[in-house]
Amino acid sequence: MDADEAMSAEAAEKAAVRYLRLNDAIIDLRDNWDDYSEALQLAQKEGDTLAKTDTKTYQTLNKMRQAVSALTGAEEDLVDDNFLAKHADDIKKAANGSEKSLASLRKAISKATFEKFKVQVDDSELDALNAELDALPEGAEVEISANTQGALAPIWDLISEIARTSTSAEEASARITSALSGLQIEGVDITPLT
């Protein structure tokens, strides 16, 4: 097997794992939606005190966070109770097969990723970025640098801000990898940081 075939096999394996994870999340959300919805409504009605005192509600919301995280590819810390409440309708529709709702959730995760690191990006930039990322073939390699122009430029802004606010190269590396997973970018080589 030559290098190109090995990379193609690796890309296919990653895609298969991602689709299995997505399928499992859809099944979990669809099968448990009534419980998730009830826990979310209780938490919204009662506020933080319920989530801190009611173990069942806390565990149910945590399981829902895990499923939404798997559905979107995002880190769980981006999928907080406010995110779940704000996007409950899209989560339910995505669990029932709506690609439009899944795209809306992914955009919301992308936006939350940039907001978490205080990087300004407007909706049109986010739409262009997501369209560019979606158009990349599986396993494509893209170099991002200070010279990156166009739709991918906000990624450099994100990487730069994370590196600037990190206390070590290892911390920056972990935070960048985490942030980029929220943008559906995996297999990042950030060797220059470490």
Q: Of residues 35 and 179, which shows the higher confidence score? A: 35
Angle at 69 between CA 8 and CA 94, to 5 degrees: 90
Check pLDDT > 70 for residue 76.
yes
> Taking all residues of the chain, what is their mean pLDDT, rounded to a whole number?
83
> Three-state SS string across the chain, please?
CCHHHHHHHHHHHHHHHHHHHHHHHHHHHHHCHHHHHHHHHHHHHHCHHHHHHCHHHHHHHHHHHHHHHHHHCCCHHHCCHHHHHHCHHHHHHHHCCCHHHHHHHHHHHHHHHHHHCCCCCCHHHHHHHHHHHHHCCCCCCCCCCCCCCHHHHHHHHHHHHHHHHCCCHHHHHHHHHHHHHCCCCCCCCCHHHC
Is the pLDDT confidence value at 194 over 70?
no
The mean pLDDT of 145-150, rounded to a whole number, is 84
pLDDT band at 86 (very low <50, low <70, confident <90, very high): very high
Does the pLDDT at position 127 exceed 80?
yes
- CB count within 10 Å of CB 42 equals 16
How many Å apart are CA 153 and CA 165, to the nearest integer? 19
The pLDDT > 70 percentage for the chain reads: 86
Query: Per-residue pLDDT for 180 more than 90?
Result: no
